[in-house]
Amino acid sequence: MDTELTEAEARAALDKIEHSRRRVIDEIDMPQWYWNGVALGWVVLGVIADLQISWLTAVATVVFGAVHASVSSRLLGGRHRTDRLSVSTETAGRHTVLIIAIWLMGLAGVTVGLALLAKADGAGHPVTIASVIVALLVLLGGPQLMAALRRRAARSANGQ
């Protein structure tokens, strides 16, 4: 059954494909509970560090790292925001996981820097202060980072 498409039918089919592609790209994200959990964990670690109980800080850091690793192994690439759809690595971008990981490591450095500045200024709980500031950066910056990665994926899909 060979039927030829009219130009209008071909254009309509291509428009439908483009619309579906944009809907898939819109799914590249992390659930909000992920950012909330990271921010809360960051603050809890800061409070524990300010207690100056080395073994407790070490245990809390390992627990936070293990929980984050187990949760983020599925989520970090932004490919599983919901259970409705799993975005391919090629669509989400091959470097998405790396970009998010570097951003989180950078925030760890920011935490240390802010804590040192707060301590030098005589603050009583410098790590807690630093971790609250960084937790706000996680809550505000995480979704913004994902929006930038979605824009990047859209440009890549358009061949730009």
User: How many other CB atoms sit within 10 Å of the CB of residue 130?
Assistant: 26
Average pLDDT over residues 60-68: 94
Per-residue pLDDT of 10-61, as tens digits, reads 787 777 776 666 776 667 778 889 999 999 999 999 999 999 999 999 999 9
> Rounded to whole angstroms, how far apart are CA atoms 138 and 129?
14
Higher pLDDT, 68 or 2: 68
Across the chain, mean pLDDT equals: 84
Question: What share of the chain in percent tops pLDDT 70?
Answer: 77
Q: Please name the residues in contact with 110: beta carbons below 8 A apart, sequence gap of 6 or more.
A: 130, 134, 137
> Rounded to whole angstroms, how far apart are CA atoms 97 and 138?
16
Q: Please name the residues in contact with 103: beta carbons below 8 A apart, sequence gap of 6 or more.
A: 141, 145
Whether residue 116 is predicted with pLDDT greater than 90 in this model: the reply is yes
Contact at 8 Å (CB) between 87 and 79? yes
- pLDDT for the residue numbered 30: 80
Whether residue 1 is predicted with pLDDT greater than 70 in this model: the reply is no
Per-residue pLDDT of 92-110, as tens digits, reads 666 777 888 899 999 999 9
- pLDDT for the residue numbered 89: 63
Whether residue 120 is predicted with pLDDT greater than 70 in this model: the reply is yes
